[in-house]
Amino acid sequence: MNIRYLAPVLMTLLASTAFGEIRYVAAKKLFHLEAGAVSYVFGVNERNELQSVYWGKRLWRDDDLAAPRSDREWASFDNSGNTTPQEYPGWGGGRYIEPCLKVTLPDGVRDLVLKYVSHQIDGDTLKIELKDMTYDLGATLVYRVYPDTGVIRKNAVITNRTKAPLTLESAQSGAWNLPRGEGYRLTYLTGRWAGEWQINQEPIHPGMKVIESRRGNTGHQANPWFAIDEGGRAEEERGRVWFGALGWSGNWRLSIEQTSHQQVRVTGGFNPFDFSYPLAAGESLETPPFYAGFTDGGFGEASRILHRFERAYLLPGGLTSRQRPVLYNSWEATTFSVDEPGQTALAQKAAKLGVERFVMDDGWFGARNNDRAGLGDWTINPKKFPNGLGPLIESVNKLGMDFGLWVEPEMVNPDSDLYRAHPDWAMHFPDRPRTEARNQLVLNMARNDVRDHIFGVLDRLLAESPKLAFLKWDMNLNFSEPGWPEAAPADEKKLWIAYTRNVYEIIDRLRAKHPKLEIESCSGGGGRADMGILTRTEEVWTSDNTDAFDRLRIQEGFSYAYTPKTMMAWVTDVPNYNGRSTPLQYRFLVAMTGSLGIGGNLNKWSDADMSLAAKMVDLYKSIRKTVQEGRLYRLFSPRGDGFTATQYVSEDGRQAVLFAFRTGQHYGYPPPTVKLSGLEERAIYNVKTIDNKLVERLPAVSGAYLMNQGLNLRLGGDFDGTAVLFERQ
Ligand code: DGJ
């Protein structure tokens, strides 16, 4: 490295980042969680309750902090329990705010007042024991700080230490209290199938906004992520933003509440809807991890913090995990009509483009010739693959690619051998109709025999095909009739949690037994993307909508919460499902802003298409580390006026890449000048354009110029796109 760059790098390292510490300030009974650029402070007040004190930019001086004292009663209608911000309030003692825990105790008492008992600090983890004021119902709150990111994780383990069964009616992971005040704005992600990841922003007013899933999985309809900014004033690179996400792929809920005392708080955990969780004496329930962070650097920095956090601490393999290979997927090309010659022909073409992983999608098993039959029968279809998968995998490997397979293990077609043998394995209520969609039903994965069967099937598949490197794990139906007749009636609703736990367990066991296996999480596109599944899968199928123009918005929304490394994006054929056609280069560039895949029917691609595609794959490989593991700057949002630009800077600052897209134009105006971000003012960058669409002919230029004067692009027509590369000298 050039010596003149050492100083800023060292300064940055010293100034913030690797720092993380949990301190107990005994004199004031305060816990100070310091991480990265963030402080999170709470303490034990005079009533022995855990009271939130501060969350924001790092405070370095404990002397500045006062011991927590509860707020006064406002009137007979709002006792101090409602006016005092609390870390983990129970429902009881006259509190009307959203509780973290609500129970019916063994004798029918429904009043819970949690008090501090003890704590333990062990490196980056803090455990706090709470207990009801009289009953032996405990909650262990577990906090962990993640040094360089300032992200804090909290969750709770609720234990019935009484001698009799009790029932939990709401079990949340925790509550995040923001600095008291009004005028906050909420940002959250919603959507539907083929239209996931839409960004919504609205002012937070008194009352409660709920985003949730009642569908059994994470859901396309909302994602368990939030951001809240101060005064509704934060911008992409400016302003205070508090943000967080749940690590859970089952029913979840985030309640964003502004109390009548100007306290904004976000409570999150298991969805209390249709929730009833009996705890036998001695039994515990652990709530999902709830991660959160803070920045004064706007939404862009909030995303970059999360991207880095996910790569370092959530994704399998962490920072040492490999970059995502360029993938080919057969779905849009051949749908269910897969066979050995057809897939081999596609693989040969894919290899010519530089593809590194060939994935055969739906249709290879049982009687799966369409979506009406075969789901559940995970045996290779002998008509399509008379010699098993071996020869195809071997050809794919010989072509220099590894091989992956689509599975949808949690589902069954009623027209399948599995269903005929075990109709009771599908989720149902006795003597009631079972609601099918896409001709399928959900298996009750909460049952351990179903879990073990599915594990056995997948384990055998992997054992029989040791070269099987990758599974695309799909899930195309939400729960309906969520009955579990084999369970005791009082335990039936445990299905919501047991299902997800068993899915997690299968993945964990498979990965332990087949350590080289990689997995993509898919649920009809982006229906199962969250910080729980991301600890077990390398990537996510972002959306079944592969229209490049729609994808710009879909991928922008995704990038608010999740790293581009996990964001699978394919180049597919046009016209897309919606009738829109865009040029091949545009489609490639859009897909190259995430983890690149190709999903078109290569048999129909012209020589010119193939040669452009090979060039783009080559280009992607030269910038992949920067895109997948660098810092993302969203320069122009696709929600704006016909022009989108995103930029990535490698972690070491040596490479940057700009992607720019023009949707349409008016009156012949040029697109806006693009001012870059995240470069070094005094460094010189060699500039390389992929297709001479840069107005300025500057072979080398300073960071200061790029960030302040900016670049002009010659983008015309409709759906034009380009990329510009910058290498630091
Ligand atoms: C839904 C997925 O999102 C698609 O990519 C494809 O795998 C189909 N299922 C196959 O049935």
- Which of 229, 361, 474, 573 does the annotation list as catalytic? 474
Residue 156, both tokens? 């709770």
Which atom from ligand 1 is nearest to the alpha carbon of 361? 7
* Distance (Å, whole) CA 253 – CA 245: 11
Instruction: From residue 395, give the alpha-carbon distance in Å to each of 345, 386, 405, 425, 656.
Output: 10, 15, 15, 37, 37
Which atom from ligand 1 is nearest to the alpha carbon of 522? 3
DSSP state, 289?
A: P
Contacts of residue 472, Cβ cutoff 8 Å, sequence gap at least 6: 329, 359, 361, 404, 405, 406, 407, 519, 520, 522, 541
- For the chain, residues with pLDDT lower than 70 are 1-18
Whether 522 is in the pocket of ligand 1, judged by its Cβ within 6 Å, is yes
What digits encode the pLDDT tens for the residues 32-68? Answer: 999 999 999 999 999 999 999 999 999 999 999 999 9
Exposure on the CB side of residue 294, measured as CA atoms within 13 A: 22
To the query of whether residue 452 is one of the catalytic residues in this protein, the response is no
pLDDT of residue 18: 64
Whether 362 is in the pocket of ligand 1, judged by its Cβ within 6 Å, is yes
Q: Please report which helix (H) or strand (E) contains residue 724, including its range.
A: strand 720-728
Contacts of residue 320, Cβ cutoff 8 Å, sequence gap at least 6: none
Whether 541 is in the pocket of ligand 1, judged by its Cβ within 6 Å, is yes
pLDDT of residue 346: 98
Whether 524 is in the pocket of ligand 1, judged by its Cβ within 6 Å, is yes
**Would you say the pTM of this structure is higher than 0.75?**
yes
pLDDT of residue 642: 92
* Ligand 1 site-directed mutation target among 360, 364, 406, 407, most atoms within 8 Å of CB: 406
To the query of whether residue 124 is one of the catalytic residues in this protein, the response is no
The answer to whether the CB of 142 falls within 8 A of the CB of 155 is yes
The answer to whether the CB of 51 falls within 8 A of the CB of 86 is yes
pLDDT of residue 7: 42
* Distance (Å, whole) CA 379 – CA 386: 12
The answer to whether the CB of 19 falls within 8 A of the CB of 697 is no
Nearest residue by C-alpha to atom 11 in ligand 1: 362
pLDDT of residue 495: 98
- Domains of the chain by start residue, with CATH: 75-314 (2.70.98.60), 320-544 (3.20.20.70), 635-728 (2.60.40.1180)
Q: Is the peptide bond between 575 and the residue preceding it cis, with omega within 30 degrees of 0?
A: yes
The answer to whether the CB of 360 falls within 8 A of the CB of 338 is yes
Amino acid in position 627: V
Provide φ and ψ at 370, rounded to 5°.
Answer: -160, -170
Nearest residue by C-alpha to atom 3 in ligand 1: 524
DSSP characters over 191-203: --TT---EEEEEE
pLDDT of residue 2: 45
Ligand 1 center to 569 CA (angstroms): 13
**Residue in 511, 59, 72 with CA at minimum distance from that of residue 315:** 511
Long-range pairs for 443-448: beta carbons < 8 A, 24 or more residues apart: 443/376, 443/410, 443/411, 443/412, 444/484, 444/495, 444/499, 445/410, 445/498, 445/499, 445/502, 445/503, 446/484, 446/487, 446/494, 446/495, 446/498, 446/499, 446/502, 447/484, 447/486, 448/502
* Ligand 1 site-directed mutation target among 331, 412, 520, 540, most atoms within 8 Å of CB: 331
Contacts of residue 360, Cβ cutoff 8 Å, sequence gap at least 6: 330, 338, 343, 392, 403, 404, 405, 406
pLDDT of residue 8: 41
The answer to whether the CB of 114 falls within 8 A of the CB of 99 is no
pLDDT of residue 3: 43
pLDDT of residue 697: 85
